[in-house]
Structure 1
Amino acid sequence: MWIELFDYTNVLAILAASIFWFSLRRKPQNFPPGPRGLPFVGYIPFMEKNPAETFMKLKEKYGSVVSVQFGQEDWVILNDYDTISEAFVKQGQKFSGRPYNLYFELITKGRGFLTMDYGSTWKDLSKFGHATLKEMGMGKKRMETNVNEELRFLIESLTSSNGESIRMKLNLAVSNMVCRIALGSRLEYHESKFKHMIETFMKQSEDTSHSHMLFAVSLAPFLRFIPPFSNVVKITSEEAECLMAYLREFVEEHESNFDDSDIRDFIDAFLNEMKKRGKDDDAFNKIQLIRYVRDIFHAGSVTTSGTLTWGLLALVCYPKYQEKIAGEVLATLGEEGVPSMEHRDKMPYTSAFIQELIRLKTSAPLGVFHKNNEETNINGYTIPINTTIVPNIWAVHYDTKYFENPREFRPERFLDSDEKFCRSNHVIPFSIGLRHCMGEQLARMELFVFLTGIIQKLKVLPDPVKPLPSFYDGAFCMGTYEPPHFDVVFERR
């Protein structure tokens, strides 16, 4: 009994000391203002389902630059376009680091391009990535041909009854574009290894308790030691290892028949660079290659397929928009024409629809977190070195300064008085600055070609048996804004 009482007293003492320490804790001098949280967890208990909404509301009280505590760290949230541009563009080199994040650590094991800190290794890999993707056809007619070829397989898949969700069908198609770039060829939708890879990526972004607990662990890493969070961490780590094993097989297959006079794809190009540089290069080695390919798959599939899924839901929820786009598509392409990025100027309403879609349904509301590599200043506040910086892209897209009634889905806002498409610099789903998404051109091509191609061939109609969810029923899961599950009927035009 005395031992139990002693243990209980110790727990109370530790808790009291922690609360006392928290009460004395002060933010750095001249640090951005923000709300206080609770001991250990900080502001986590006060977060809404969509953290970007929580941060956006804090702007009303504290301004565009807000500090929020998560666990034992103070993060800085950038809540409008001007502050994001100031940090990522005007002071790009200072703000292009990557903070430690347990979730990223679980899936990359400290390697990979997407989560790598800013420095010479990242610069080498970035330069290589941009050059190689361009060489592989990014933004060129050759890539457009590949997208149209995949479109035919996608339409066949959408009109089949194979039990797969709309999101899975779209994800397989989008991921196959990554396969063409990274592996040199597409994979069959029914190939078991390919499907398991995509299912693993999707699991991390689905609206489930698993993804919500994983997000909580990424905010407060100490939770990884506490059930059931510890089990989620274990499962995520094991799934990451399985995914790496699949990609290792692809890399080793390329190694077995590598020919430096015939560079077929991204893996070959990387192997060729490894050969040129020799062993023990920090940037170009086999482990880094596997992680890089993993990053390309993840970044190049989840967000684009999510946006396409939102697009199909919009088409069936707003049939007048669907018919208006169909009129443009058929007037420009006819029934057998091949969609091309060159057709965008002839399809202003379609272009406006897509831009409104990526604004309202921001695929990554908080982008990818940054950190500053040196002490710096923004909006008059001092930001200590190695502070986590969060760009609230959602807040930019919902800023009434740029968008009237921003919560309305209204493609017409991007048409001028002559019904011509007006691109907005304040729609930034791919972020801005040195670390903006290098796959932006491909993603924009996929959105335009896949959507116009689907509408050219198919009508998207409500399922007469299963009611549609609201177009505004989204969920924030592990950094992405996910559409609800729904079923529709695809009917040939």
Structure 2
Amino acid sequence: MLQRVFNEINVSTGFVVLTVFLALYYWYRRPKNYPPGPRGIPFLGVLPFLGNYAERTMHKWSKKYGPVMSVRMGRQDWVFLGDHETIRQALVNQGNSFSGRPLIATLDQITEGHGIVLLDYGDWWKRQRSFGFSTLRGFGVGKRSMEDRITEEVAYLNDAIRSHDGKAFDIKSILSNAVSNNISSIVMGRRFEYDDEHSKEIMARLAMCFFLQILIFMPACVHLPYFSRVNKKLMEDVHVTRSKKYFGRLKVTARNNRRTQSLHTTKTTTENFIDAFLGEQNAENGTDAFTDKQLLHYVRDLFFAGSETSTTLRWTLLCLIHHPEQEKLRKEIFEVLGQEKIPAVDNKAYMPYTCAFMQEVYRYRTLAPFGVAHMTNEDVNLNGYSIPNGTTIYVNLWAVHNNPDVWDEPNKFKPERHLDDKGNFVQSNHVIPFSVGPRHCLGEQLARMEIFIYLVSLVQKFEFLPDPDATELPDIENGSYGPICAPKPFKMVAREV
């Protein structure tokens, strides 16, 4: 009897051991010639070990495993690229092979395979990208006409700042409104007052869908109580923006503005992005790709991506508050423009320190530490490693901007590092906040133009100081953690000069 029990125990134990062995073997195995990297623990992978700032953790791991590193995220293997040369080899030299977008369930339920930012690489994406570039150029992005729209908004922004009468305030909403108005002028052909309820609704509805960052990495969390409630609210907003009533309001706003403008001109040109899209929709060759659903998601992407320029501007103001460069910056601005002349992009050629300051902000506070996820479209070879088709790829832009082999004391804010011995500005291809390759940011030119004009205009008119009631300066070393690195909430004083 005892012998029978012992035999059964041995069989059961052997079965458990075999099951555990097979599970661990399956978990830790890699495809042949696959990049090395940490595997973490079964089911969760490295997720419990990422910390608050995953880009820093990944950078630390890449020192051990190399610039091409596989990382087990949940149950999937993702590949992270950790230095400038490797990123350029992949996204530029093999750009067509690395330009896909992975299917992320949480975001797919929002985008429905439409838009531009998360649209997978292919003929449809190329068609939408080409339309976006040509349309934005037509509205003056990178040209003087767009400068005029931005400088017009500067006057409203300055008035909003002055309304605080030198008292401490949080500039976040003001900057968001100003930058969103630049996008509105392109998308709908008009700007909104900063307290306009219609504008607030549009911004909230179009942008909210991208805040559930945890669900990107762990889709199964959507079934947990807290995340299921938030996801339900998210999808309610998504359904509102898909409704004919809501979508119709966007088109009516654009068309009404076009009619208003046509009263003052004899031109028959298209006045806004929506109008241009509808024109393409009505064309014989535009009916398959240029649908109302595609327009809605395209507009959402433009607002979401374009509005993040305000986050870069808030980092810029924090840098001004923390460092003595503000007076040096203002001195150069006064020498070139005085106190009244409106800034223009052409002034950059005569303002090397201002350009150096901007480039250092891009480097020092990387807005999107990992950019947007890529996916391989075919089997590829990178740095001697074999990466299969369909692999999710992330690039660590933060690591590029903080590489001690390139940057002396990378953890310090030093605009002078971007000037040569004669004080001339040196453009660096190691500062890539908008990424590189075919999928680099569609609105890069607009963002660079906005940041230059807003920075010069603000420093020309105001001195920015810390909140006198705060016990310490706002945190500049650390921001919010996640795909977007934003400053923690802070107040400041804007004193007219």
Q: Same fold (TM over 0.5)?
A: yes
Aligned 8 A contact 2:84 2:400 in 1: yes
Tell me if structure 2 keeps the 8 A contact 1:310–1:361.
Answer: yes
Given that residues 189 and 258 in structure 2 are in contact (C-alpha distance below 8 angstroms), is that contact kept between their aligned partners in structure 1? no
Q: In 2, distance between residues paired with 1:53 and 1:190? A: 39
- Which of 361, 368, 389 is equivalent to 2:365? 361
- C-alpha deviations, 1:13-39, integer Å up to 9, x for none? 99x968952443322111100111222
Q: Tell me how far apart the structure 2 counterparts of residues 284 and 164 of structure 1 sit (CA, whole Å).
A: 43
Mapped contact 1:414–1:423 kept (Cα < 8 A)? yes
Q: Name the counterpart of 1:300.
A: 306
Residue 169 of structure 1 aligns with which residue? 174
Greater gyration radius: 2
Counterpart pick for 1:124 among 127, 132, 155: 127
Give the deviation of 1:160 after TM superposition: 2.1
2:67 aligned with 1:60, yes or no? no
Aligned residue among 310, 314, 327 for 1:323: 327
CA distance in 1, matches of 2:234, 2:109: 7
Amino acid at match of 1:56: H
Shift of 1:237: 2.1
Asked if structure 2 preserves the Cα contact closer than 8 Å seen for 1:315 and 1:460, the reply is: yes
Larger deviation, residues 62-71 vs 94-103: 94-103
Does the C-alpha gap of structure 1 residues 229 and 23 become closer, same or farther in structure 2, counting only changes over 3 Å?
Answer: farther
Q: 1:327 to 1:258 in 2, by over 3 A?
A: closer
Displacement of 1:239 = 2.9
Cα displacement (A) at 1:280: 4.8
The corresponding residue for 1:217 is: 215
- Counterpart of 1:230 in structure 2 is 228
Q: What whole-Å deviation, never above 9, does each CA across 1:131-166 have from its counterpart, x for those lacking one? A: 010001010011111111101111111222499731
Kindly report the root-mean-square deviation, in angstroms, between the aligned alpha carbons of the 2 structures.
Answer: 2.4
Hey, what does 1:4 align to over in structure 2? none
Partner deviation per Cα, 1:448-481 (whole Å, 9 max, x = no partner):
100110011111112211242232131223x111
- Matched positions, count: 469
CA–CA separation in structure 2 for the residues paired with 1:358 and 1:233 = 33
Deviation, structure 1 residue 102: 3.0
Tell me which residue corresponds to 1:311.
316
C-alpha distance in 2 between matches for 1:60 and 1:167: 37
Aligned to 1:9: none
In 1, Cα distance between the equivalents of 2:186 and 2:108? 26
SS class of match (1:461): strand
1:93-108 maps to which residues of 2 (within 5 A)?
A: 93-108=96-111
Q: Which residue in the other structure is 2:279 paired with?
A: 272
Q: Distance in 2 between matches of 1:18 and 1:264?
A: 65
What residue number does 1:395 align with?
399
2:75 is aligned with what amino acid?
Answer: Q
Rounded Cα–Cα distance in structure 1 between residues aligned with 2:496 and 2:142: 30
When residues 22 and 108 of structure 1 are mapped into structure 2, their CA distance, relative to the original with a 3 A threshold, is: farther
CA 1:165–1:277 in 2, change beyond 3 Å: closer, same or farther? farther
SS in 1 for 2:436: coil
Unmatched segments (≥5 aa) in structure 2: 1-14, 260-266
Q: Alpha carbons of 1:204 and 1:22: their partners in 2 closer, same or farther (altered >3 Å)?
A: farther
Letter in 1 for 2:140: G
From 463, 468, 479, the equivalent of 1:474 is 479
User: AA paired with 1:249?
Assistant: R
| Equivalent in 163, 168, 193 of residue 188 of structure 1 | 193
SS of structure 2 residue aligned to 1:68: strand
Residues in 1 aligned to 2:197 and 2:20: alpha-carbon distance in whole angstroms: 50
State how far apart, in whole Å, the 2-side matches of 1:252 and 1:135 are.
Answer: 21
Do structure 1's residue 80 and structure 2's residue 71 form an aligned pair?
no
- Matched residue, 1:457: 461
Q: Could you tell me how far apart the structure 1 residues matched to 2:383 and 2:441 are? A: 26
Structure 1 residue 101: Cα displacement: 1.5
CA contact (8 A) 2:368 2:485 kept: yes
Matched, 1:286 2:292: yes
Q: Distance in 1 between matches of 2:164 and 2:202?
A: 22
> Equivalent residue of 1:490, what SS?
strand
Conserved? CA contact 1:329–1:452, under 8 Å: yes
In structure 1, how many angstroms separate the alpha carbons of the residues matched to 2:247 and 2:360? 36
Paired amino acid for 1:226:
L
CA distance in 1, matches of 2:401, 2:116: 27
Stretch moving more, 225-234 or 92-101: 225-234
2:8 corresponding residue in structure 1: none
CA contact (8 A) 1:147 1:449 kept: yes
**How has the CA–CA distance of structure 1 residues 248 and 79 changed in structure 2, closer, same or farther, with 3 Å as cutoff?**
farther
SS at match of 1:435: coil
